[in-house]
Amino acid sequence: MRNSFNLDGKVVLITGAASGIGAKCVEVMAQCGAKVMATDIDEQQGLKTVAEFKTQGLDVVFCQHDASSSDDWDKAIAATLAQFNRLDILVNNAGIYIGGTLLENNLEQLRLLNKINIESIFLGMKAAATVMKPGGNGGSIINLSSVAGLIGVSGHSAYGATKGAARLYSKHAAVEFAQLGYGIRVNSVHPGVIDTEMGGQVFQDLVDIGLASSFGEAKNIVIGMTPLGRLGKSEDIASMIAFLSSDAASFITGGEFVVDGGLTAA
């Protein structure tokens, strides 16, 4: 079944696309009619994921890609242009989670979070904008942040700092690209706790720092804090990203879009 947002003729590059939210973005956006370059550092899982989508008749290609590497960005952009001859949408989804209290975290963990969660966004926006700006096609860039980039959460300070940076980086880029006439919109998406492998790491972290006695209790605590009474699903995030990528969002830039079941509103 086709998703409701029309992305016919659009070319999308999605990082961190081998699994979780990234893989669901590939599926949903391809179902919307987009041609998708799916990238990930995990080549084996990435090829497996793309092969599954191809059996559905979706127009998806895989490129192995370390999103924190400038050289790999050059490779991924070149592969996209060689395959599809243009780039309209970038989804900067690649990221990692490291929990722990501020006193437990070390500088190496903070540097790794910054490398994967922020440097990849800088490199991605720079590479994509070079192709999309005047003389190119214009386009849309969506950067994945988190509710941890909006509010304080115990055990998430280092991770949250990088996600807060992703939020503001998106706003600065949105204003700059608009005022310079690039025709590129930039927005950030802020998921709550999503029912993925990374979401499970959040629950375990609550146990490890002593805020829950078990994984199950941690999960129930988060669900209890969420007005809609459930965890988020990957498709909840992918649907928001598909909307922001579409022409239906043509007057939206510099925005922060929270998809958390009301967690941050309560």
Extract the tokens encoding 67.
């999103």
Catalytic residue (one of 97, 159, 169, 182): 159
159 is catalytic: yes
> What are the residues facing 72 on neighbouring strands?
none
148/162 Cα distance (integer angstroms): 9
Which residue intervals of the chain are DSSP H helices?
A: 20-31, 43-54, 70-84, 107-114, 120-132, 157-179, 197-208, 215-225, 234-245
Q: Is-contact 231 218, C-beta < 8 A? A: no
Compute the distance between CA of residue 210 and CA of residue 122 in angstroms, rounded to an integer: 35
**Beta bridge mates, 257:** 189
CA gap 57, 94 in Å, rounded = 25
For residue 171, report the phi and psi dihedrals to the nearest 5 degrees: -65, -45
Cα(193)–Cα(219) distance, integer angstroms: 10
CA-based angle 132:133:137, to the nearest 5? Answer: 50
Sheet arrangement for strand 35-40: 60-64, 35-40, 11-14, 89-92, 139-144, 184-191, 256-259
Q: Which residues are catalytic?
A: 159
